[in-house]
Amino acid sequence: MSSDQPKSVSRREAFRTLTGAALATTLAPAALSAQNPLAGSSSPAPRTQGAPHIARHQKPNILWITGEGIPLRALSCYGGQLLHTPHIDRIANEGMRFDNSFVTNALCAPSRATLLTGKYDHLNGMISNPGDTTGGMTSPTFDAAQETLPKILRRNGYRTGMVGKWHLPANPGEVGFDYFVFKRGAGGPYYDPDHYLRNPSLGSNVIEEASYPGYITDNVTDLAIDGMKKLKEPFFMMLQYFNDHRPFDPPHKYEHIYDGVRIPEPGTFWDDYATRSSAAREARMRIADMPDFHPPAKMTTRQRQQWNYQQFMAHFLGTLRAQDDNMGRLLDYLDQSGLAENTIVIYTADHGFFLGDHGWFDKRFMYEQALRVPWMIRYPGRVKPGSVSKDWVVNIDNAPTALDLAGIDVPADMQGRSIAPLLGGSTPAGWQTSMYYHYYEFAPPHWVLPNYGIRTQRYKLISYYTVNQWELFDLEKDPDEMENLFEWNGYRVHPDYQAVAGDLVSQLKALRARYKDNTGSPVRLWPTSSYD
């Protein structure tokens, strides 16, 4: 990887280009063999041995890795059989994996703002993606003056870095990063050498252009390793991959590994949204309508959906495999540099993703495939290798957790809670067993209606409040979320679930009050007589 001579950009130009335009069931276990293209490289033997306690005379380094749109069933450590991901799995095998990890808004920029602030988007300002990704229909703000995780770490002796996807309308230096290199836009093209932006020296808020030929996933990994070398210890490095965002460009070496392989569709692939609200029927994110892979003209809708799915999955999995390869490079660097024993490694994602589930690609809905994200933490000497937590964690908890593990007090106005006790195998009394979600962006290209909702251990209640329609799912009896228990297209609850719905509405009101969210319409379940 090489860089051209940097070219200075004015402050106005830099802010104008901080974000770019958005580009408009499981396989058999044998598919995980090394001979199958669905398998990744061979799984390395665990190299980090946990111990009851390691005496530490310095603050731990933190390597925080955020994947883009990673659904749980794409990772083998979560039981997925689509792809073998040995290097991502290594973090889980040598640390703790969280099986119930959720996001508060399944969208790129809002989720990243939450990870930085520990707050819901109505407070951090980033309720949607930037306007230049939505045809100018949204105008979220992210005030660089607000408190952020890297600012707090920097005040407490850390040097901070961010590499990869930024996607926020703010200067990373002003948000708290000493070292930064990012690329314009939300996704690819993955082989475009231009449109990178960086600061010229540690601590500088100046943004200059740079060029890095090669594959973007390899590039940002190189840049993160270079940044860790420059930052010294203790460092906080936030590496944010573009994988797997549209246009799902795999590296050349993986472009044809799925040729001749047929990937089975998920069980909900032919969902007709018969019982759902109008939001599900009208959203523009159906696999059948994807123009990305130029389907042949003479196809029926069903044929096109199947053809697009195979192309989409081949691209998605090849692109994700490249991320897993680079995760191995990162972990090898920590081992070889002697940093592994004093470095916390965190892996998560900004949101999940629909891989043909409900006939969709993308995210945004409160359904499980978009709502759930991986979260795993490796911390030698503090976290038992191979441990698994079933406790609920939410992405507002990430920032408080990083601060707590670094021995830094968590600000009172952060809405999340440190999960450090869970890492030691202890669940505090009264730990959360429900979570609140709020999605805002009704804009091109996907036109998903704004919605908020509550998920409990058994039920999920969603309000599409701009059209006064509801969805209620009994996740114990209907884990695929196919049967909405509100009838009349989401207006009247099924008689057997009236008490459940009433209780969930009360809980939803309480969560909105707890998180100080008065955006959107107030919660109100209208009586059936209102429609007579």
- Reduced to 3 DSSP states, what percent helix, strand and coil does the chain have, rounded to the nearest 5? 30, 15, 55
Do the domain assignments include residue 296? no
Check the CA dihedral 293-298-302-306 and report its sign. negative
Q: What is the mean pLDDT of residues 90-103?
A: 98
Q: Are residues 402 and 487 in the same domain?
A: no
**Burial status of residue 427 (CB atoms within 10 A of its CB: 0-12, 13-18, 19 or more):** middle
Out of 433, 460, 475, a domain closes at 433
If asked whether residues 146 and 190 sit together in one domain, one would say yes
Q: Which residues pair with 100 in a beta bridge?
A: 392
Q: What is the DSSP letter of 234?
A: S
Same domain membership, residue 135 and residue 166? yes
User: Which tokens is 475 given?
Assistant: 């996740």
Question: Is 170 within a domain?
Answer: yes
Q: Which range has the worst mean pLDDT, 48-57, 142-151, 435-444, 451-460?
A: 48-57
In the predicted model, is pLDDT for residue 78 greater than 70? yes
Domain boundary among 408, 433, 458: 433
pLDDT at residue 136 in the model: 82
Q: Which long-range contacts (CB under 8 A, 24 or more apart) does 290-297 make?
A: 290/361, 292/246, 292/247, 292/248
**114 shares a domain with 66:** yes
- Concatenate the DSSP letters of all residues of 282-340 into one string: H-S-BGGG--TT---SS--HHHHHHHHHHHHHHHHHHHHHHHHHHHHHHHHHHHHTT-G
Pair (426, 464) in one structural domain:
no
pLDDT, tens digit, 9 for 90 and up, residues 497-528: 999 999 999 999 999 999 999 999 999 887 55
Assess whether 78 and 194 both reside in one domain.
yes
DSSP category for residue 31: G
Whether 122 and 155 map to the same domain: the answer is yes
pTM of the predicted protein model? 0.90
pLDDT tens track for 327-355: 999 999 999 999 999 999 999 999 999 99
Please check whether residues 368 and 501 belong to one and the same domain: no
What's the CA dihedral at 400, 405, 411, 416 to 10 degrees? 20
Together in a domain, 320 and 222 = yes
What's the CA gap between 437 and 449, in Å, rounded? 14
Between CA 119 and CA 125 the distance in angstroms is 10
Asked whether residue 69 is domain-assigned, the answer is yes
Q: How confident is the model at residue 133 (pLDDT cuts 50, 70, 90)?
A: confident
pLDDT at position 131: 83
CATH number, residue 236:
3.40.720.10
Q: 393 and 490: one domain?
A: no
Range of 484's domain? 450-531
Span 461-491, pLDDT tens digits: 999 999 999 999 999 999 999 999 998 766 7
- Strand-pair category, 159-165 with 235-240: parallel
138 lies in some domain: yes
Q: Does residue 319 lie within any of the structural domains?
A: yes
In a domain, 171, yes or no: yes
For the chain, what is the mean pLDDT?
A: 89
**Domain match, 482 and 399 both:** no
- Cβ atoms 244, 323 nearer than 8 A: yes
Q: Are residues 480 and 526 in the same domain?
A: yes
287, part of any domain: no
Percent above pLDDT 90 for the chain: 82
Alpha helices by DSSP H, listed for 413-497, are 420-423
Q: How many domains is the chain partitioned into structurally?
A: 2
- Token digits of residue 287: 């696999």
Tell me whether residue 67 is in a domain.
Answer: yes
For every residue of 339-395, DSSP letters joined together read -GGGEEEEEEES----SSGGGB-S--SSSHHHHB--EEEE-TTTS-TTEEEEEEEEG
Can you tell me the distance from the alpha carbon of 276 to that of 481, in angstroms, rounded to the nearest whole number? 9
CATH number at 481 reads 3.30.1120.10
Q: Among 399, 433, 467, identify where a domain stops.
A: 433
